[in-house]
Structure 1
Amino acid sequence: MRNRPSLRSRRSLLRALLGACATPMPFAALAGFNFFTSEYTASREELQAQIAKRFPVQRRYADLFTVGLRDPRLGLDPRSNRAAITAVLSISSPLLQPQTVEGIVSVSSALRYDAPARALRLDRPQAERLELQGVTGRDAERLQNIGAVVAQELLRDQALRTFTAEELTVGRKTYEIGAITVQDDGITVELK
């Protein structure tokens, strides 16, 4: 007669298995390549970490202003299939009193794949919202225009995720990136 597990141990095993299935896995654990569905999903956390490495950034404007961006936060909008970056904006100039004005800028963008660089990039970013602290009237309007133009320039073609050649190769097959889909908690790209 073979050894059969007792009813109690089978129930314990069943409870443990059901408990493991009921425990939600973090999205980051689900992120990555899925060759069965031919797609790759980059989680919001992964993308945020990649973006944060590229900041702070700054650029001179008309040799009178220095515009900088720091502390970026990634936003994802599945309805419009766009990504957004909200950052602290600073504008410095000897013409300003005080010499540095700060605020918040939100820039949204379509996404595109840059095949030679194997990078998922922002495409045609547009400043959607820009708020400056302590500046009003025509000065505020002029500084907002400068801030918006420079923020768009600083974020144009910014890479959200760069793939290595090894990541896109399985056996003898090298995958290309196809359709890009923005989701609530990440970005999925088609592997073809």
Structure 2
Amino acid sequence: MIGTTRRRWLAAAGVAALATAGWLGGCSVFRNEYTFSQSQLQAALEKKFPFNKRYMELFDIQLANPQLMLDATRNRVTVAFDATIDNRLFFRQPLTGRFALDSALRYDQPTRSLVLQDPEVKQFDVQGLPSQFSRQLNALGGILSEQLLQGYPLYTFKPEQLRLAGTNVEPGTITVLPDGINVKINRP
């Protein structure tokens, strides 16, 4: 009788230990990488828009409706936006169009974010733009990407995502995948 009870107890303890190990293995405490799907990143990006900025006290710029595209072969992302540019001195009504930039990613420790690194204009099409302003608008697109969107956060980590066994950790290698982004965590 004692042998059967002991075997049942040991079996129950073994099952509990396996369940606990499985639960702990699934917790972020033991993670050494994160993979974010394109839809997770798209949802995080949408929360940060619309983006409104006044440039040189002349142009009011609004970027809205971001669309994230992943380029795994080049380890880069493309973000396209609806763009509105307003300048009452030059235009009777705001100009609208599509703006897209191509960018690498890096980790920014002060903000705990994956941010755009060295973004470059890929597309800047504005409807109804008078031809005499096309050169200035293209220059404005370059300024938008280089100055205003450099370091713009794509995803911000929660503090608990950057803790490993009670120690703060930092993201390391960032890899753009066909359907997401993988971030390795550097171990202390």
Tell me if the contact between 1:57 and 1:154 (Cα under 8 Å) persists in the aligned partners: no
SS at the partner of 2:40?
helix
1:121 maps to what in 2?
Answer: 115
Q: 1:184 Cα shift?
A: 1.1
* Residues 96-123 of structure 1: CA deviation (Å, up to 9, x unaligned): 3432111111111111111233211111
Alignment root-mean-square deviation, CA: 2.3
CA–CA separation in structure 2 for the residues paired with 1:33 and 1:45: 22
Equivalent pairs, count: 161
| Alignment gaps of 5+ in structure 1 | 1-31
1:181 counterpart = 2:175: yes
Residues 64, 171 of structure 1: CA spacing in aligned structure 2 closer, same or farther, 3 A cutoff?
closer
- CA distance in 2 between counterparts of 1:147 and 1:92 reads 14
Q: Cα distance, 1:83 vs. partner?
A: 1.2
Tell me by how many angstroms 1:167 deviates: 1.6
Q: Look up the match of 2:15.
A: none
What's 1:59 paired with?
53
Q: Structure 2 stretches of 5 or more lacking a match?
A: 1-25
1:14-163 to 2 correspondence within 5 Å? 38-163=32-157
Q: What amino acid sits opposite 2:142 in the alignment?
A: A
Partner SS state of residue 139, structure 1: helix
The question of whether the paired residues in 1 share the 8 Å contact of 2:104 and 2:117 is answered with: yes
Which amino acid in 1 is paired with 2:49? Answer: F
Q: Distance in 2 between matches of 1:87 and 1:174?
A: 35
Find the residue that maps to 1:108 and give its secondary structure: strand
How far does residue 138 in structure 1 lie from its aligned partner after superposition? Answer: 2.6
Alpha-carbon contact 2:45-2:66 (below 8 Å) kept: yes
Structure with a larger share of its residues in helix: 2
Normalised TM-score (structure 2):
0.76
Cα distance in 2 for residues equivalent to 1:54 and 1:189: 21
1:1-16 equivalent positions in 2, closer than 5 A: none
Distance 1:77 1:54 in 2: 22
Cα 1:167–1:137 change in 2 (3 A) is: same
Inter-CA distance 187–35: structure 2 relative to 1 (3 Å threshold)? farther
Q: What percentage of residue pairs aligned between the two structures are identical?
A: 36
Q: Using the TM superposition, name which of 164-173 and 180-189 deviates more.
A: 164-173
After TM superposition, give the deviation of residue 60 of structure 1 in Å.
1.8
1:173 deviates by 4.6
Indicate the residue corresponding to 1:191 in structure 2: 185
Give me the whole-angstrom Cα distance separating, in 1, the residues matched to 2:31 and 2:161.
16
Distance, in Å, in 1 between the alignment partners of 2:27 and 2:122 is 32
Letter in 1 for 2:79: I
What amino acid is aligned across from residue 184 of structure 1 in structure 2?
A: P
Q: Is the 8 A contact 1:58 1:66 kept in 2?
A: yes
